[in-house]
């Protein structure tokens, strides 16, 4: 698989990133695969050339990091992989067991490394913006994490472009480690990041690693209504109805299905190919609960859409409110 630079860094990552929220403990979400069920996904990902893996402390309340660390240690050398995790979500009942305060960041990086069984992470990301903590406090703490060798780079996730721009400016003003990546929601039925965030990232040399490039499976088709679909996650998903299921969204799915039919591809391949054609995008984050999904996603890397196909895919889109930035 092609390896590309993450933004303007010298770090090389695979063109696809395996999202590891699917692996951990079904006690957290019924669709999550446990340690043994997750094993073939990591083995296959490594064999297919995926070197980039993304998890978070809050996924399965730590169990995702444990599973991710275990199988990556078994199937790959540490030097071969780029491992990302996140901090912000609640990890306990206490007020300092969440958020982006200095106390929380310093405690959570050590806890994440212990669960992963690793000395450092390649990319340490803030999991949304923290409205209760001063920006400078968060950024200085992240800078200290990098200086201590516990993370090689830092990144951010869904927030308003003005917030991200302000954080970049504060880092620059103080000579602190700068965010090298942004993880926004971006797919054919949620394109609001095209307005400001993606242009900002291109201007600032920030790598973009979109989450939900398949709209939580909505773009794969077969979901005429909430809680329908061919996976446990689709059938139990409480989140998607807040994001998708508008009339225009179904028209987009119809366009995806038609091009997939014409090209002899799957909806997943067409939707992923569309995300990857954006020059701002470094590596979409894919989730997989079936091995076939992983293999389909890998095959999408080499698919090129024509200008007419892109036009047909984009035509039905209707603007949405900005979603999931808090």
126 is written with which tokens?
């803030």
For residue 227, pLDDT over 80 is answered with: no
For residue 113, pLDDT over 90 is answered with: yes
Of 224, 191, 203, which is closest to residue 316 (Cα–Cα)? 191
147 is written with which tokens?
């200086």
pLDDT given for residue 226 in this prediction: 58
pLDDT given for residue 69 in this prediction: 98
Strand order in the sheet with 179-183: 207-208, 179-183, 151-157, 121-126, 82-87, 52-54, 17-19, 285-286
Treating both helix axes as pointing N-terminal to C-terminal, what angle do 63-75 and 102-116 enclose, rounded to 10 degrees? 40
Range 223-244 average pLDDT: 60
Contact status, residue 45 vs residue 23, Cβ threshold 8 Å: no
pLDDT confidence of 192, banded at 50, 70, 90?
Answer: very high
Percent helix / strand / coil, the chain, rounded to 5: 45, 15, 40
Q: Which residues contact 134 (CB under 8 A, 6 or more apart)?
A: none
Of 163, 142, 140, 162, which is closest to residue 151 (Cα–Cα)? 142
Range 88-104 average pLDDT: 97
pLDDT confidence of 221, banded at 50, 70, 90?
Answer: confident
Range 315-321 average pLDDT: 95
pLDDT confidence of 57, banded at 50, 70, 90?
Answer: very high
pLDDT given for residue 323 in this prediction: 82
Range 184-209 average pLDDT: 98
Of 223, 238, 244, 226, which is closest to residue 321 (Cα–Cα)? 244
pLDDT confidence of 305, banded at 50, 70, 90?
Answer: very high
Cα–Cα distances in angstroms (integers) from residue 124 to residues 12, 130, 143, 157, in the given order: 16, 15, 11, 11
Q: What is the share, in percent, of the chain residues with pLDDT greater than 70?
A: 93
3-218+269-303 has which fold?
TIM Barrel (3.20.20)
For the chain, the first-to-last Cα distance in angstroms comes to 34
pLDDT given for residue 245 in this prediction: 79
pLDDT given for residue 325 in this prediction: 77
Q: Give CA–CA dist 65/38, Å, rounded.
A: 12
Taken in order 162, 127, 43, 111, the sign of the CA dihedral is: positive
pLDDT confidence of 186, banded at 50, 70, 90?
Answer: very high
> Which H/E stretch holds residue 98?
none
Range 291-296 average pLDDT: 94
Q: Which residues contact 247 (CB under 8 A, 6 or more apart)?
A: none
Question: 14-47 pLDDT, tens per residue?
Answer: 999 999 999 999 999 999 999 999 999 999 999 9
Residues marked as catalytic: 59
* Domain spans of the chain, in order of start: 3-218+269-303
State the DSSP code for 23. Answer: B
pLDDT confidence of 243, banded at 50, 70, 90?
Answer: confident
């Amino acid at each position: 698989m092609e390896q590309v630079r993450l933004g303007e860094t010298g770090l090389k990552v695979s063109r696809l990133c395996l999202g590891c929220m699917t692996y951990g403990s079904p006690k957290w979400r019924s669709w999550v695969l446990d340690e043994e069920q997750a094993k073939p996904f990591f083995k296959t990902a490594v064999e297919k050339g995926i070197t980039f893996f993304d998890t978070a402390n809050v996924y399965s309340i730590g169990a995702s990091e444990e599973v991710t660390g275990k199988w990556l240690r078994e199937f790959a050398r540490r030097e071969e992989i780029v491992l990302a995790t996140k901090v912000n979500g609640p990890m306990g009942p206490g007020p300092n067991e969440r958020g982006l305060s200095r106390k929380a960041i310093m405690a959570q990086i050590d806890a994440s490394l212990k669960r992963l069984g690793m000395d450092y992470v390649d990319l340490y990301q803030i999991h949304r913006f923290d409205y209760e903590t001063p920006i400078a406090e968060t950024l200085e703490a992240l800078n200290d994490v990098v200086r201590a060798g516990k993370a090689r780079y830092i990144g951010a996730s869904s927030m308003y472009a003005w917030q991200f721009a302000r954080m970049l400016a504060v880092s620059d003003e103080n000579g602190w480690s700068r965010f090298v990546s942004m993880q926004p929601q971006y797919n054919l039925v949620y394109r609001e990041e095209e307005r400001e965030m993606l242009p900002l990232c291109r201007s600032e040399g920030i790598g973009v690693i979109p989450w939900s490039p398949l709209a939580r499976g909505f773009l794969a088709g077969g979901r005429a209504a909430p809680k329908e679909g061919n996976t446990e996650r689709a059938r139990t998903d409480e989140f998607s109805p807040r994001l998708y299921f508008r009339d225009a969204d179904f028209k987009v799915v119809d366009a995806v299905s038609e091009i997939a039919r014409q090209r002899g591809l799957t909806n997943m391949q067409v939707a992923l190919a569309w995300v990857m054609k954006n020059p701002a995008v470094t590596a979409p984050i894919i989730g997989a609960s079936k091995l076939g999904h992983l293999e389909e996603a890998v095959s999408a890397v080499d698919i090129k859409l024509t200008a007419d196909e892109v036009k047909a895919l984009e035509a039905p889109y209707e603007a949405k409110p900005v979603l999931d930035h808090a």
